């Protein structure tokens, strides 16, 4: 009898312990690595520790798929900087989408006395750093961020977009529109700068470019005081005409264009003669009096916001 009582007592203790352990174990289906608002991550991706911020709007519930947007900073910038200044956090709250702000790796830049500054792995980065210095390809980083976001959020995989400023825009132009046209539906990249044409296979992304009439980076390169707003005058500048032509050839777009002139604020030039018949287009927004900045409504005298132009335009496109 004593043995039976001892057996029953031990059994109850074991069952109690097992039940408590099971209760404390987290439900894997409910585990998440994010909260509403700002989230910062340092994750090893493709062998490197990478930093990126993710903004989750208050309205996100996970019940329906939402778009995903990436904002790429320029040289020496960070994801945190553009989280704070780009305007995409506010637009995310207005329109209910997930916004991601990654940070590039640092490289010694020759013209800056080999000081380490953040740079995306653009086509041509090898000419800016000491010979033989290793370059880490950022394309796998972006693919892993997208995979991670899709594992955490209910993402509309046909509505993933990217906007880049300066060096970030160069990465979009020289790498993403060619190498990631299987995941991004449309792209934007600031600054003039397209030294060669691309041979894009498969889906050709619509492209939206934003420049300032007083961007010192462009003006110093051209040796002029200010960019003209109107297309006819702009295309009289050989360097700009060549680079626009390179971009149109890469995107398989013809020469005809239209203009939406809102003087003195901006001029929006649209080339939509898509030679592939898929509805592709190239837009160039020239913001009057804007310097080398990503227009956020506070950094230019005409209160132009890139997000107001880009979000509505992005929503016109999804992956086929």
Stated as kind and residue range, the H or E segment containing 267 is strand 266-271
Q: What is the DSSP letter of 161?
A: E
Check if the beta carbon of residue 319 is closer than 8 Å to that of residue 243: no
In angstroms, rounded to a whole number, what is the distance separating the alpha carbons of residues 142 and 155?
15
**pTM of the full structure:** 0.89
Q: Which domains does the chain have, with CATH numbers?
A: 31-314 (3.40.50.1820)
pLDDT at 32: 80
In angstroms, rounded to a whole number, what is the distance separating the alpha carbons of residues 218 and 14?
74
User: What is the β-pairing status of strands 37-45 and 115-119?
Assistant: unpaired
Residues of the chain with pLDDT under 70: 1-31, 193-194
What number of helices (H) and strands (E) belong to the chain? 10, 12
The encoded tokens of residue 77 equal: 């910038």
In angstroms, rounded to a whole number, what is the distance separating the alpha carbons of residues 213 and 229?
7
Check if the beta carbon of residue 220 is closer than 8 Å to that of residue 237: no
Which of left, alpha, beta for 318 (phi over 0: left; psi -120 to 50: alpha)? beta
Give the pLDDT confidence of 116-139 residue by residue, as tens digits. Answer: 999 999 999 999 999 999 999 999
Q: Hey, how many other C-beta atoms are within 10 angstroms of the C-beta on 156?
A: 18
pLDDT at 195: 74
Give the pLDDT confidence of 31-58 residue by residue, as tens digits. Answer: 688 999 999 999 998 888 999 999 999 9
Check if the beta carbon of residue 215 is closer than 8 Å to that of residue 233: no
In angstroms, rounded to a whole number, what is the distance separating the alpha carbons of residues 206 and 313?
10
Burial of 10 (0-12, 13-18, 19+ CB in 10 A): exposed
Alpha helices in 137-250 (DSSP H): 139-152, 167-171, 177-179, 216-222, 231-234, 238-250
Q: Which of 34, 186, 168 is nearest to 103 (CA)?
A: 168
141 in helix, strand or coil? Answer: helix
Which residue bears the tokens 């009057």? 288
């Amino acid at each position: 009898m004593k043995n039976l009582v001892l057996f029953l007592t031990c059994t109850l203790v074991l069952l109690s312990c097992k039940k408590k352990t099971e209760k404390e174990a987290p439900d894997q289906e409910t585990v998440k690595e994010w909260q509403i608002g700002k989230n910062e991550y340092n994750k090893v991706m493709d062998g490197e520790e990478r930093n990126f911020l993710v903004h989750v709007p208050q309205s996100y519930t996970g019940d329906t798929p939402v778009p995903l947007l990436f904002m790429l900073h320029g040289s020496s910038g960070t994801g945190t900087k553009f989280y704070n200044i780009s305007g995409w956090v506010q637009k995310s709250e207005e329109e209910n989408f997930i916004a991601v702000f990654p940070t590039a790796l640092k490289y010694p830049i020759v013209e800056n006395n080999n000081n380490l500054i953040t740079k995306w792995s653009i086509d041509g980065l090898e000419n800016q750093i000491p010979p033989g210095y290793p370059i880490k390809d950022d394309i796998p980083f972006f693919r892993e961020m997208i995979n991670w976001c899709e594992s955490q959020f209910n993402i509309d995989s046909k509505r993933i977009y990217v906007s880049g400023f300066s060096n970030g825009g160069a990465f979009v132009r020289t790498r993403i529109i060619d190498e990631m046209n299987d995941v991004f539906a449309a792209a934007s990249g600031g600054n003039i700068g397209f030294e060669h044409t691309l041979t894009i296979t498969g889906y050709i992304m619509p492209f939206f470019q934003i420049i300032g009439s007083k961007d010192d980076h462009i003006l110093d390169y051209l040796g002029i005081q200010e960019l003209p707003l109107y297309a006819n005058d702009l295309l009289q500048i050989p360097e700009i005409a060549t680079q626009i032509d390179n971009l149109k050839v890469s995107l398989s777009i013809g020469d005809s264009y239209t203009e939406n002139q809102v003087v003195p604020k901006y001029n929006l030039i649209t080339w939509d003669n898509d030679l592939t018949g898929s509805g592709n287009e190239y837009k160039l927004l020239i913001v009057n009096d804007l310097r080398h900045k990503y227009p956020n409504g506070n950094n230019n005298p005409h209160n132009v916001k890139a997000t107001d132009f880009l979000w509505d335009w992005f929503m016109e496109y999804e992956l086929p």
